[in-house]
Amino acid sequence: MTWKPSPRAGVDHLALPLDPRQGYLLSLVDGTLDVAALAALMNLGQDQMTEMLIELAALGAVAPQVPPPEPDPTAVQEPWQEDPAEQETEETVSLAVAKAATHRQLFEHHLHARPQEQRVAQAAVAVEPDLSAFCFDPTAEVIRAVLENPRVGGIHARLIAAHHRTVAGLEALGGRTAFTNDGGVRRALLQNPLLPTGLYRRLWSTRRLLEQFLVATSRDSPEQVRAMARDVLRASFNQRAGEERAELILTTEGRCLASLVGLTIDSHATAILCRRTYTSTLFIQNIARWSAAPPQLIAHLRRQDLVKRNPVLRQMLERHPNAS
């Protein structure tokens, strides 16, 4: 018997601890596709697909496979032959699914040519796999319709965040707090070069300074997003408590200071930094290059054993404009 997994009824799939690949697979599972078809859609081997489905079943996301009944040795075996018409239909469907290697291809080959008004109407009521395919539509109106679809979930939000390329469509996604709180959606947005400045500010301006710094220096984000992150970091820095500013400087060993040129720290943050003993050459070098380093911090660093033993560090600190 071929296993055609189906979603488990009465389960809140968004609450399950699924990784992005498991979530994507779950969006494909509808009870009509067998293991071979699902494997073809995700470009995996059938053994790998079976293992993933078993994991989803263990998590309660899909109904477990029902083993075939044991044959009754006393029963009379009737000759049986599969209906050729039914066999041809199943093979045709499996072949068509296998050829649609991705939802993007499904959209481009079957949905994209339809008039925009028709796509908007269909996206609002679509089921899988069309619902996921509509996430690749380049128009904001269709994306709004997808987000209004009662079947839309976190998987679709991640597809939109990663692949949509209009400000209006991404703003529509940003208006759904349930989706923007999803870590996968946030990561996908950070890799989208069309991420709107206003949406980034709404989502990240309240985050800790260290999180903002990580975005500003992430190699996974395009330069436009990193530039936005640097602006938000600078705007947030002077608004935060001294503990958080000191934490950012200490955790990054002063690397963050290159993005904070022209900004200063208050007496509380200075006191926190001056209470520590330093053994990091990189930290001292970065402080020595920071023109706004407070005089108290420069004096404290010059008293460190590491600086006393290292003439280069000692000279850098002596040349600092705030060195007394």
- DSSP characters for 236-283? HHTTS-HHHHHHHHHHTTTGGGGG-TT----HHHHHHHHTS----HHH
- pLDDT tens figures, 299-310: 999 999 999 999
For residue 7, which phi and psi values (nearest 5 degrees)?
Answer: -60, 145
* Domain-embedded: residue 247: no
Same domain, 284 and 200: no
Expressed as residue numbers, the domain containing 23 is 13-59
Confidence class of residue 13 from pLDDT cuts 50, 70 and 90?
A: low
Q: What is the DSSP string of 163-190?
A: H---HHHHHHHHT-HHHHTSHHHHHHHH
- Choose one of 202, 237, 272: the last residue of a domain: 237
pLDDT score of 96 more than 70: no
* Domain-embedded: residue 104: no
Same domain, 219 and 151: yes
pLDDT score of 100 more than 60: no
Same domain, 276 and 214: no
* Domain-embedded: residue 105: no
* Domain-embedded: residue 102: no
Same domain, 142 and 215: yes
* Domain-embedded: residue 177: yes
Same domain, 210 and 295: no
* Domain-embedded: residue 138: yes
Q: Which of 130, 90, 103, 134 is nearest to 40 (CA)?
A: 103
User: In this predicted model, which residue has the larger pLDDT, 263 or 16?
Assistant: 263
Same domain, 274 and 214: no
- Between CA 141 and CA 46 the distance in angstroms is 37
Confidence class of residue 289 from pLDDT cuts 50, 70 and 90?
A: very high
Same domain, 140 and 219: yes
Cβ(42)–Cβ(25) under 8 Å? Answer: yes
Same domain, 186 and 225: yes
For residue 69, which phi and psi values (nearest 5 degrees)?
Answer: -65, 145
* Domain-embedded: residue 116: no
User: In this predicted model, which residue has the larger pLDDT, 74 or 114?
Assistant: 114
* Domain-embedded: residue 293: yes
Same domain, 227 and 267: no
Same domain, 199 and 132: yes
Same domain, 233 and 268: no
For residue 62, which phi and psi values (nearest 5 degrees)?
Answer: -125, 155
Task: Report the phi/psi class of residue 184: left, alpha or beta, with left for phi > 0 and alpha for psi in -120 to 50.
Answer: alpha
Same domain, 217 and 182: yes
Predicted model pTM: 0.65
Confidence class of residue 194 from pLDDT cuts 50, 70 and 90?
A: very high
- Choose one of 203, 237, 271: the last residue of a domain: 237
Rounded to an integer, the average pLDDT of 210-217 is 94
Rounded to an integer, the average pLDDT of 166-195 is 94
Our count of domains for the chain comes to: 3
Residues of the chain above pLDDT 70, percent: 86
